Structure 1
């Protein structure tokens, strides 16, 4: 494992502790202009998420009263709490073909995007140690008077994320403070995103960030904070 990634994983609680858990639940409150552009305004204001830690699975209670959105890389669905399928889509990433940044989404598009995104966010940095994922430390970065080390990550082909290539920025305490990527499913006209991360807290021995803010990257590789694309606030985290 890359030395920098090992340092970050140790800071967040260590692989041994992580591997002792199977799933987590959390409360999520979302915002930002993306959901309005995708005609999903208000849907992600306040919901619960349950993810499995060692396979890409997420279930979110935002699809409607008594309903769950269920995500895996090759299938998304809206299901009743009893497990009865209301609607589903296989090969869900293909459903974004031809999209532009302002193309509206249906709730299965939203289930896929939110499913893989929240799984990625809530399993970092541990999932970056998955077999087939390649990591490399690159030149450091100055941000607001701090020096952050940077980790370039190529996700394993079998892992679903915003994009295969990612860059993580790590502060002196070993905490991830920024994550850069292309959100490919948003379609043409999308620029790189700077995903700013803060409010790190410990739950059951694992560090989880409380606040995430996503901006487009502007000149000089700096976040353009004129328009907030996405906000995510995470609380009430529980590991089992």
Structure 2
């Protein structure tokens, strides 16, 4: 924690894929993106050099436009734009940017995020998967943090590193996600999972292998002191 609190920002280059983007009518929208995020509040800039666009995320407003700053579209109170949607509902670019902005910010700050005021945690019975015993932490998010859902579960290996992160997705009609973190790299003393794979899970919380809903592969990442 002492090391983590030194950093105020993070920058990364990454590729995001998976079946969800085809379902939403936006295949490859987040392939080859660059991001710069504030670690102390929920804000992030995302750019796609290949796609020719740049966007910004904050909980109360999202904006997207061309790389030169022209033709900007924006949406205030963006979460309200998902009302009445189901898992199959198509998205526009602002839907996708809001979802990806809050999701990536959450993934980049867990588990340190859980120490902030307003978070409530409860240890659940241990879980066995992949020949390992994982400790499970149920986390209730405060209203001040935008995320998939208020209640989420994180699984940690014997080395203390996050292995899996379960949630339901409010903006996708309660779709289930089991988010597996792997390929850890030490970046300025922070252990970062460079790969994430998201699948659905069944009523017994067992992973459903097909389809792969979301893939996240970080090509480069660095933290900045601010």
Instruction: Give yes or no for TM over 0.5.
Output: yes
Q: Is the 8 A contact 1:204 1:239 kept in 2?
A: yes
Matches within 5 A, 1:193-232: 193-218=177-202, 220-232=204-216
How far apart, CA to CA, are the structure 2 residues paired with 1:62 and 1:93?
23
Could you tell me which runs of 5 or more consecutive residues in structure 1 were left unpaired when the two chains were aligned.
1-14
Consecutive unaligned residues in structure 2, runs of 5 or more: none
Match of 1:172 in 2: 158
Distance of 2:163 and 2:176 partners within structure 1: 16
Question: Which whole-Å deviations, capped at 9, do the CAs of 1:128-180 have from their partners, x for residues lacking one?
Answer: 11100111111110112211000010011100000010000000000000000
Q: Tell me if the contact between 2:87 and 2:175 (Cα under 8 Å) persists in the aligned partners.
A: no
Task: Give how far 1:79 is off.
Answer: 4.1
**Runs of 4+, deviation exceeding 6 Å:** none
Partners of 1:74 and 1:90 within 8 A in 2: yes
Distance 2:197 2:167 in 1: 13
The residue correspondences of 1:11-90 to structure 2 (distance < 5 A) are 15-62=1-48, 64-65=51-52, 67-80=53-66, 86-90=72-76
Q: What's the RMSD between the two structures over aligned residues?
A: 1.5
Provide TM-score, normalisation by structure 1: 0.89
Query: Which has a greater percent of strand?
Result: 2
Counterpart residue number, 1:149: 135
Separation in 2, partners of 1:58, 1:234: 16
- Which of the pair is proportionally richer in helix? 1
> Is residue 134 of structure 1 aligned with residue 120 of structure 2?
yes
* Corresponding position: 1:181 with 2:152: no
Say if 1:78 and 1:180 are closer, same or farther in 2 by CA, change over 3 A: same
Tell me by how many angstroms 1:107 deviates: 0.5
Task: Report Cα offsets for 1:17-57 as digits up to 9, x if no partner.
Answer: 11111111111111110000001101112111111000000
How many aligned positions are there? Answer: 223
Partner residue, 2:93: 107
Q: In structure 1, how many angstroms separate the alpha carbons of the residues matched to 2:74 and 2:121?
A: 35
